[in-house]
Structures are given as C-alpha cells and as structure tokens.
A and B are shown apart, each in its own frame.
Chain A
C-alpha cells in the first residue's frame, strides 16, 4: 500500500493566488482529516470527512478555506485567496472508522505551503 498520498509536496505562491492541495487516502479508509501545522499554533485539525461527508469543519479558519471530497479516493483543500499567514505544512490523514471507535490515523507526508 502506498499510504496516504499528498500533492504537491511543496508549493510556493504569491499572496492572492488560489492554492489547491490534494490528498488520496488509503484505499478502504472511510475517514479523512486535514490538518495544518505551524510552529506557533502546533497541529490543528481543519476539517474531517466520514464516508465523503464533512462532519466537522469548525477548524477551518476562514471562508477563504474550503475542502471537498467528491469520492472515497480523493480530497482537496483550497485556499482562495491565499495570504502569507497561510504558510504552513498541511497534512492529510485517513483512518478506518467503525461506529464511534477511534482508530489510528495514517498521515501523508504533508504539503509545505509558502505564500509570499
């Protein structure tokens, strides 16, 4: 299994530009999570999906952030327009959830975003 796949691995863009981060979860997993990690704020959960449905997006910082999961094997996190303070490492993780049990999450390698 290739694990969770994220692309791109690095992204450098200018303020105001649209940024799209992509994630392919592990096949068979039904929960997908987007996190943001910075030195100042640590690891923050932005949004998570279960069976392709957004369950909790309370961590999404602003309307500039949006996430979709059109099918079980693909998700995107979009920032439009991007700002320098969005610079961070964005992680995608997936897990197999059964009922209310919490199972281990498998993390992707992350996308390092730099907004100039």
Chain B
C-alpha cells in the first residue's frame, strides 16, 4: 500500500484558475515534500513542510499539513500553462527512506 497517495489522479483547469491537489499518508512523518515532474524529466523539489508546521508558502504555492488527518494539500494559484506537470508528495518513513505517491497529473489549458 502507498504511504502517500495523491488525489485527484488527474486535474484539468484553465489558465488563471487555482489548482488544488491532496496527499494522504498512513504513518507518522517528520516532514512532507512536494515535487513536480515535467514530461520526460526528473523530479524537481518544490517545497518541504515539517510536521510541526501547518502552512507554508513559496511564491504561487501554498502547502498545508494536517497531521491529525494525515493529509496535505498543495495549492497553485493563478495557474499557468507552464505548471502543466505531474505533482508528487513524498513522505519520510525512516532514516532517509522516502515514499512517493502515484502523483497528480495537472493540465493547465491556455
């Protein structure tokens, strides 16, 4: 079973709209990270939120973490066509071992 699972699996929005992706996990974590993967490329780290944090911002990205519900959300505001990519949450389950979820495929239509 997945440690981290994103939903929805796929999301299609118009440019300028906000995109929200969710991640649920099963075990206790020290932190949770979000990554982006453009087609044919490696993953790129976006943002890290620690277990004692509830919200974090980075540019147009906003991440929330609810440890009681074992869930996180990634909000991309004012989306752009260049935001089209797959987004993964990653959780740490033990010393430097990371589990990635299956990802959310985001399409931003110009």
Residues of A within 8 A of B (CB): 4, 31, 33, 35, 42-43, 45, 48, 50, 55-56, 91, 93, 95, 97, 100-102, 104-110
Measured between beta carbons, the chain A residues less than 8 angstroms from B97 are: 45, 48, 55-56
- Within the complex, the shortest CB–CB distance from A28 to chain B, in Å, comes to 16
Which residue of chain B lies nearest to A42 when distances are taken between CB atoms in the complex? B102
Chain B: CB-nearest residue to A104:
B45
A-B contact count (CB 8 A): 55
Q: B92 to A102, Cβ gap below 8 A?
A: yes
Query: How extensive is the interface on chain B, given as a class?
Result: 20 to 34
Proximity string of chain B (41-74) to chain A, C-beta cutoff 8 Å, 1 when within and 0 when not: 1111100100000000000000000000000000
A106 adjacent to B99 (CB under 8 Å): no
With contacts A31-B96, A97-B96, A101-B30 taken as known, whether A42 is within 8 angstroms of B45 at the C-beta atoms is no
Assuming the contacts A43-B88, A104-B33, asked whether A95 and B43 have C-beta atoms less than 8 A apart, the reply is: no
Within 8 A of A (CB), among B58-110: 88, 92, 94-103
Contacts of A108 in B (CB 8 A): 42
* Chain B binding surface, main DSSP class: strand
Query: B20 within 8 Å of A by Cβ?
Result: no
Chain B residue at smallest Cβ distance from A92: B42
Q: What's the Cα separation between A16 and B48 when bound, in Å?
A: 42
Given A42-B103, A43-B88, also A102-B45 (CB < 8 A): no
A100 close to B41 (CB less than 8 A): no
In the bound assembly, the distance between CA atoms of A97 and B96 in angstroms comes to 8
Please determine whether A102 and B42 come into contact, CB atoms closer than 8 angstroms.
no
Contact B42 A109 (CB under 8 A): yes
